[in-house]
Amino acid sequence: MASAIPAVVVARKDGKLICQNAPARRMMGPGAGKSCWDVVGGLKGAEGLPCETNCVRRLLAQGLEHTQQVDPRIEGREHRLTCVPVGEAVVCVLESSAENEPDQWEVLTARERDVLSLLADGDETPAVARKLGVSESTVRTHVEKMRAKLGVKTRAALVALGFRFGYLS
């Protein structure tokens, strides 16, 4: 997955998307003719995106020397969004920025990420179960599945890999 093709969209001056590559369509849905700030800014589970009404027009007015680059989190994973004004359009590239991105079989589910986050906060199984409204057995099952996916033996190693892969900040 480390060599995954980034999601790329191109928006004209009025902010409407004129094209997007296949990874962008898979991640954001079809966006041709829609506002860039609605398509990119509407990503499910995204935090820290700079998208807002007329951001494309503003970026074009600032010029090439004002390339915008931010590091949002999408579904708990670190990414890098780079928006570059080029002529009368803005090209936006969204890619994972985790240094050691997990392989597909190492990707954690949303619930596993919830459990991992609470473990990283120092919570033990009973507290995690109470906070998530599940049984202790369910929490232990999630922990075992994460340890198997990531190939570690301890919860501490699990948390360490969580930081390394960008699941935790």
Pairing assessment for the beta strands 73-74 and 46-47 based on DSSP bridges: antiparallel
What per-residue confidence (pLDDT) applies to 73? 86
Domain ranges of the chain: 7-96, 104-164
Most confident region among 87-101, 115-129, 145-159 by mean pLDDT: 115-129
Residue 115 · residue 132 · CB < 8 Å: yes
Quick check: 98 pLDDT over 60?
Answer: no
pLDDT digits (tens, 9 = 90+) for 46-61: 889 989 999 999 999 9
pLDDT digits (tens, 9 = 90+) for 2-38: 446 788 999 999 999 999 888 888 889 898 899 999 9
CB atoms inside a 10 Å sphere around CB 135: 11
- Topology of domain 104-164, per CATH? Arc Repressor Mutant, subunit A (1.10.10)
Domain formed by 7-96, architecture: 2-Layer Sandwich (3.30)
Nearest to 76 by CA among 124, 105, 99, 108: 108
The pair phi, psi for residue 55, each rounded to 5°, is -65, -30
What per-residue confidence (pLDDT) applies to 168? 79
pTM score above 0.75: no
